[in-house]
Each structure stands twice: as structure tokens, then as C-alpha cells.
Structure 1
Amino acid sequence: MDNTFDQKVIWITGASSGLGKFMACEFAKQNGILALSARRTSELEKVLVEVKKLGGDGMVVPCDILEEQQVENAVMEIIKQYGRLDVAIANAGFGIYGRIEKITAKDWKRQLDGNVTGLAMTAKYAIPHLKISKGRMVLIGSVAAYIPNPNTGAYGASKAAVRSIGQTLQIELRGSGVSCTVIHPGFVDSDIARVDNEGILHPESKDPRPKNLMWPTDKAAKVMVAAIAKRRKSYVFTGHGKFLAFIGQHFPVLARWMIGKLG
């Protein structure tokens, strides 16, 4: 078994469900020490129980990434408890959906505050401690950063910003010993498409994404942790995600035509 993260202190935002939860479990299998952040404390406690069952350890650090002071306080709590930080994963995020002509300024602000500013603040407060440990900064993007997609313009714009932030950090952190990995998942089984523009989960809602292209969350978490271990600069997955990202980068006219045909 890989032991890259044995006794490493790993902070994950958005750790109460989905990719954050399953990444925590993967790190736990390597005896990692998890600092779990999100708004839902009760759900974080459940994840911590799973982490300990799998051989890891950790603590719950409630944090709303929309509040800068809470982000700073979360890092301070982790350092107070463990004295170090080895990996920081800016995973918390959500999607605002609707055609650009329909999305309100309030929607845009919430989308960018969460997926861009919250992520940037996570990096801001983690990096000074990662420089001490020669650690890993991880940003969770999306294949949406590479391709246009009707009704997800705000989300795509936010993830394009994540990609740009990652590329900038890779230059700014050069020589510091800190790596910055930006991960761009394709379709992964999660609740993101069942959360409305006000942040309310509707578990009964149908996920509009194609089921045949959806990866199980545990499978996705495994490849993400492997990419973080290797300090990859950019990692795109699933198979369809890699294809769409390639087309979007190198054949943008074809990408627009394809997405238009898919609706």
C-alpha cells in the first residue's frame, strides 16, 4: 500500500459529502490525519467516524468558505492541534444554473464568492504553513473550465478562474517546495446537480447528467488522491472529461458544435 500520506495532516474543505468525503476516506487508508471542514458539523462527525474506522485520525473544523475569517480560523485550529499542515484541498464549491440572460447579479456573486474567492482564501491561509512542510496545495476545478455548456455559464466561468488561479500559483510557488495540483473531474456521482441556486439540496430531484458517463465517487477519489501524491500540475479525468477538455482546448469550433448538438 502507498504510504505517501502516512501521518500527514490533510485539510479538506467541503468534506461532509461527495468527493470531499470519499477523498478523506482514501487518505485515511494511508493513515492520514484529516482536518474536515464544511458547514454541516453533524455530517462531518459521521465522516470522521468513517476515517477512524479506515485507520486514519483527525478532527472536525466547521468552516463556511464564504466567510474569510472562518477560513483563517480553521487553519489556526489545525495548526494549534497538530502544529503542521501537509496538504490543503480546496474542494468546497457548488453550481449556479440557468441561462446567462436569466442569472441575477446575486447568483453571480454567490457563485464567484464560493468557487473562486472561497477557494483563493483557502489557498491564502494554507500556503504559509505548506511552505514549512514543503506540502501540497490542491484546487478542485472541473472539465467545465475547458468547454462551453449552456445553462452552466456561471459555474463554467468560476471553474475557468480556478484553472487560472492554479496556473498562477504554480509560478508563484516555484522554488518554495510547495506543489499546486489542479484537478478537473468530468461527470462524478454527487449531489451537485440536486442543489438549487439558493444552496438547498433536493435529494428527490433527477440528476440531468448522463448516467452512462458518471463515475462512482469512490473511484474518482482514488485517482484524485493518486494525482495529489504524484504532485501532478493538472489532472483531468474521466475518459469523456479528457476528450472534452482536449477538444475544448485545441478545436474550440468543434467543441461548440458538439455541445450544441448534445443540448
Structure 2
Amino acid sequence: MTVAILGTITLWATHSVVAVVLVVLLCAAGFADNPIVVGEVVRIAGAGRSLPMAPATSAFQVGIATGSWLGGIALTSSLVGTTPTSAATSRLIVRHRTGEVGVDYGDKLFWLSVVIQRKYAQICAEFDLTPSQATLLCAVRDEPRQMADLAASLGMTKNALSQLVDRTARRELVGRASSAQDRRVVMLSVTPTGKVLADALYAEVAKRLPEIARNLDADDQRDFERVATTIVDTSDLSAPTPDQPTTP
């Protein structure tokens, strides 16, 4: 059985999920062999003779220790990734435990969002703005927007957006006005003071937000920029999402 599992691992070592399952089966088979071999030793040597059992049990312990030692050497050697057998399989297990193959991909994206929001909030605080107020200013800094469309693009309810606009308007940073084409449509735009603040804030965010990737090397930073650009370019930021709208 052990030989069969090892042969299967050789064929499937590059398939992470299958490889992990096979390694677990290999471990189970190894533990099952121990009592069988010891039982055969007792049967051959005869009951009550403990001396023959000692080498058999010790052999398993030596094998476990030696296997762990050789496995550690394999994981840190240049052989990793060049052979499809146990070294590659062990590497896959390590990758699973550290999340390199997407086991906790969603978790990493969650914490990435926390890192981005924290940096964004720090920048906004320097301009005496909340992140919600800053986002609102940046959304209307270039041209007026309909309140309904703005609520959809920001993922907010109309009531929540109205409260946010009220707080921001009290600082004379934004103002409401009826549309010239349809008096029923409410438009939101920045005031001259709000325009100056929004432009300065936007420039600072664009300059400093990439600092979250400062610990990456140059190639990784370029890859990060490329992936971030692709995600934004392929996302519909103007349409409402089916998720629960946020509050300011």
C-alpha cells in the first residue's frame, strides 16, 4: 500500500490538493505498518520475549527522526521544484499552510483592504476630513454629480448620502442644486473651497497611497500596480452592487 501511494504521489505531486491528501494517506499507512510489523516480530520470537521487540520499535523511531531530518534538508535545498516526488509534495504542504496557493486568499484580501483603508484614513485626517467626506469630495471635484447616481457608485443609501452631504455642506465644501434639465433631479458639486481641498487631497492620496507597497521590490511593485490597474479598469464603479449599502 505504501509503495502504491508513493507511486501515486509521483504522478500527482504538482496537484496541491491531491498531493496533500496522498501524503496524509501515506502517514496513515506508515502508522498502520508499525503495529503489524511489531506483531509479526512477537509472533516469530514468541510471546513474553521483549528483546526482539525493542529493535523493531527503535527502527520506527529512527526512521521517523531520519525522515524528518531529510525532509527538512529537502525543503531548503535546490531540489525543491525540480522533482515531482516527496520533496515537491512537502513544499506544497508548506505552501498550503502559509497560504501561497490561495488557502486564505480571501483573508489576505481582507487585510489588504484594512491596510489601504488605514493609510487612506491617515491622509484624510491630515486634511481634517473623514474618509467618507474625502471620498465624497473626490467624487465630485471635477464635475457635478446626480445624488442618486452618486449614492449608487459609492454603495450608499440615499438617506446615508444625504446625511453625509449635510455634514460636508456645513463646512461649505459642497452644495446642492437642482438640475437645469430636470428640476426634480438634485445635483451635488464642490464649492470653490471644496475644490481646492479636494484637489490637494486627491494629489496627496495618489502620491502616498502607493507607500503600502514600499516593502516590495521593484518588480513586485510593478506587478502590484499592474494588477491593481486591471482590477479597477475591469470593475464597474458606477453601478450599484447587490450587497448591503454602507453608511457614512
Coarse TM-score class (shorter-chain normalised): under 0.3
TM-score, normalised relative to structure 2: 0.18
TM superposition score normalised by structure 1: 0.18
Greater share of residues in strand: 1
